[in-house]
A and B are shown apart, each in its own frame.
Chain A
Amino acid sequence: MADTIPLVDYLVLDGDPHLIAHECENCSARFFDRRTACASCSGTSFRTVGIPREGTVRTFTIVSLAAPGVPVPFVAAVVDCGGTSVRGNLVNVDPDPDHVTLGMKVRLTVVPMGADATGVAAVGYGFEPA
Chain B
Amino acid sequence: MAEDVWILGVSMTKFGKHPDEDNFDLAAQAAFGALTDAGIGMKDVGVLAAGCLTGGNSAFGQQLQKQIGQTGIPVYNVANACATGATALRVAIMAVKAGETDYGMAVGVEKLSGAGLLGATARKKQGDTWAAEGRFGAIAPLDGRIGTESMPGVFAQIGLEYGSKYGGVDFELFARIAEKNHAHSTLNPLAAYTKRLTLDQIMNDVMIAYPNTRPMCSANCDGAAAAIVVSDSKLKTLSLEQQRRAVKISASVLTSDPWQEACQVLPDVNTLTRQAAGQAYEAAGVGPEDLDLVELHDCFATAELVHYDNLELCEPGGAVDFFNSGATWRDGKTPVNVSGGLESKGHPIAATGIANVWEICQHLRDEAGARQIEGARVGLAHVIGLGSACGVHVLKKAYLRCSA
Contacts and interface: CB of A to CB of B under 8 A. Distances in A.
Contact of A61 (B122, B128, B156): B156
Given A32-B264, A63-B209, A74 B144 contact: yes
A21 B264 CA distance: 12
Given A65-B152, A120-B130, A8 B209 contact: no
B261 A8 contact: no
B189 interface: no
Interface string B130-174: 101011111110111111101011101110110110000001000
B160 A59 contact: yes
Contacts of A31: 264
B123 A68 contact: yes
Which interface class (under 10, 10 to 19, 20 to 34, 35 or more) fits B?
35 or more
Contacts of A97: 171, 210-211
Nearest to B214: A65
Contacts of B148: 61, 63, 66, 74, 76
Given A59-B266, A63-B153, A65-B208, A120 B129 contact: yes
B122 A68 contact: yes
A61 B153 contact: yes
Interface of B is mostly: loop
A106 interface: no
A67 interface: yes
Given A59-B160, A87-B147, A87-B266, A70 B130 contact: no
Interface in B255-297: 259, 261-262, 264-266
B138 A7 contact: yes
The winner among B121, B150, B152, B264 for most chain A CB atoms within 10 A is B264
A15 to B, nearest CB: 19
Contacts of A70: 120, 123, 143-144
Interface in A1-17: 5-10
The winner among B124, B126, B130 for most chain A CB atoms within 10 A is B130
B161 A58 contact: yes
B137 A8 contact: yes
Contact of A69 (B123, B158, B262): B123
Contacts of A120: 129-130
Contacts of B59: none
B265 A78 contact: yes
B400 interface: no
B145 A65 contact: no
Contacts of A63: 144, 148, 150, 152-153, 209-210
Contacts of B129: 116-118, 120
A9 B264 CA distance: 16
Nearest to A67: B120
Interface in B90-128: 117, 120-124, 126-128
Nearest to B159: A59
Contacts of B135: 33-35
A13 to B, nearest CB: 12
Contact of A116 (B128, B137, B158, B163): B128
Contacts of B73: none
Contacts of A35: 135
A40 B259 contact: yes
B404 interface: no
A124 to B, nearest CB: 5
Contacts of A61: 148, 152-154, 156-157, 160, 209-212
A58 B266 CA distance: 11
A64 B217 CA distance: 14
Contacts of B259: 29, 39-40
A59 B265 contact: no
Nearest to A75: B210
A126 B210 CA distance: 19
A103 interface: yes
23 contacts: A7-B138, A7-B146, A9-B136, A33-B136, A39-B259, A39-B264, A59-B163, A65-B150, A67-B120, A67-B143, A68-B123, A70-B120, A74-B144, A76-B148, A83-B261, A84-B261, A85-B262, A89-B146, A97-B171, A97-B210, A118-B129, A120-B130, A122-B130
Interface of A: 5-10, 29-35, 39-40, 58-72, 74, 76-78, 83-89, 97, 102-103, 111, 113, 116-118, 120, 122, 124-125
Interface of B: 117, 120-124, 126-130, 132, 134-140, 142-148, 150, 152-154, 156-158, 160-161, 163-164, 171, 206-212, 259, 261-262, 264-266
Q: Which 5 A-B pairs have the closest CB atoms?
A: A9-B137, A69-B123, A61-B156, A70-B144, A67-B120
